[in-house]
Chain A
């Protein structure tokens, strides 16, 4: 089993519609039933972000996201899958259910 991060990409600040949320709930239930579920969550808009640099003595707080980009992450899933082809299929289903693009990335396994 390997773990993958599925990030939901979007270029609007609009939250999901009721229909999209219902589809996501159904997909989540299926992930749990099939043993793929690890964690998932939606994120507040990038404008609510704070960048924190605590490497020096006094932490520095910066209001806003680290990168201003056209697309941002609106939410994510962490899934368990036996291999990449299964993860790829789940990502395609996740993208369809949340009606947004999804970026699939493996976690470092070692």
Chain B
């Protein structure tokens, strides 16, 4: 029995998006597609232990869900004329070979710019990721009812406003794809560095989910450089996850991490993706540059071996694309390694990032290296006050308390 349940869990992970996406196109209704997909999986849980797992589980689920949807639409069509149209759509035999496109349509619809960012995240995790409303609520520490309302309202808006279920036109595609990647990166970052102290510091379930969804988008759009870049960035970041927390739950910075604990398989995969992008000869976008920076770090056997001039060159390239204060702050860390803390501090001071904990943490570190203990201590305290993540806070407090007494 356990075996069948394992299979169902795996099939759910692999086939959920396909079933929802195919149904949504056939029926023109996201709401019914989601409900019938869930219904079909419930039927599988009931039947498969006794009947055995069908040879093509994905097809079985799609057919079952489709049949349930038609039954339901027929019942409703007797009462309401408006369902007749949907029923006609549903009875049309599905075109073959467009299955992958359906999942891509689903992704773009869930990440539509007319939906609020938190709605896009919730909708993508539910419709594409197959997470339950309860799982999404737990991940983002919001009430289940609130997540449910958010998703319901989004589906109603998609339907009423006629948000199209399709891959955007060529002219809209770059901006819309950037919106999709922003959703995926947000999910990843929420898992990698939870933003609030009530949450666990690192949640591998969310990072794994973000990687899984990004792999899917990458499989559907393999030629897109930024999709590849984001996947590589996530893999190279995820590779360091276990080394990033100490046994006492404190954040371990890149320089202090046990590099033997890094996941070599993920690193190899990330490096291969970065190399493929370099070989393409196309100018990289921000995710590709960030991935390349992470490739440099994961390429060094020890922190001391890091090729900081390469890191700085990449940050210079990133600054030209995105001259935001946060990019300049991160660039200053490479500057400190090459030109010393004094030069770096001059670049950091004056950045408009007073409310950002990493700004104060970076200043504190530079001031510490310059022997300006008192100012360093004050900067650490500001950083501690602003940091939301428990592991990061513990690290900052220890660093502050290690400073020599004034």
CA gap between A55 and B168 in the complex, in Å: 47
Chain A positions 41-83 with a Cβ under 8 Å from a chain B Cβ:
83
Q: Which residues of B contact A108 (CB under 8 A)?
A: 160
A35 at the interface (CB under 8 A from B): no
Chain A positions 1-15 with a Cβ under 8 Å from a chain B Cβ:
2, 4
**Taking the nearest CB of chain B, how far is it from the CB of A83, in angstroms?**
4
On whether the beta carbons of A85 and B82 are closer than 8 Å, the reply is: no
On whether the beta carbons of A106 and B164 are closer than 8 Å, the reply is: no
Q: Which residue of A lies closest to B165 (CB)?
A: A83
On whether the beta carbons of A84 and B82 are closer than 8 Å, the reply is: no
CA gap between A99 and B28 in the complex, in Å: 36
On whether the beta carbons of A83 and B162 are closer than 8 Å, the reply is: yes
On whether the beta carbons of B160 and A85 are closer than 8 Å, the reply is: no
On whether the beta carbons of B172 and A85 are closer than 8 Å, the reply is: yes
Interface size of B by CB at 8 A reads 11
Chain B positions 154-186 with a Cβ under 8 Å from a chain A Cβ:
160-164, 168-169, 172
CA gap between A26 and B161 in the complex, in Å: 26
Task: Tell me if B's interface is mostly helix, strand, loop or mixed.
Answer: loop
Q: Which residue of B lies closest to A105 (CB)?
A: B161
Given A84-B114, A88-B114, also A110-B82 (CB < 8 A): yes
Given A84-B114, A85-B172, A88-B114, also A2-B82 (CB < 8 A): no
On whether the beta carbons of A106 and B114 are closer than 8 Å, the reply is: no
**Taking the nearest CB of chain A, how far is it from the CB of B306, in angstroms?**
45
Chain A positions 84-110 with a Cβ under 8 Å from a chain B Cβ:
84-85, 87-88, 104-106, 108-110
CA gap between A38 and B107 in the complex, in Å: 33
**Taking the nearest CB of chain A, how far is it from the CB of B44, in angstroms?**
34
CA gap between A4 and B160 in the complex, in Å: 10
- 16 additional A-B residue pairs with CB within 8 Å, beyond A84-B161, A85-B164: A83-B163, A83-B164, A84-B114, A84-B163, A84-B164, A85-B168, A85-B169, A85-B172, A87-B161, A88-B113, A88-B114, A106-B160, A106-B161, A108-B160, A109-B160, A110-B82
What are 20 residue pairs bridging A and B, where the CB atoms are less than 8 Å apart in the complex? A2-B162, A4-B161, A83-B162, A83-B163, A84-B114, A84-B161, A84-B162, A84-B164, A85-B163, A85-B164, A85-B168, A85-B169, A85-B172, A88-B113, A88-B114, A104-B161, A106-B160, A106-B162, A109-B160, A110-B82
| Residues of B participating in the A interface, judged by any CB pair closer than 8 Å | 82, 113-114, 160-164, 168-169, 172
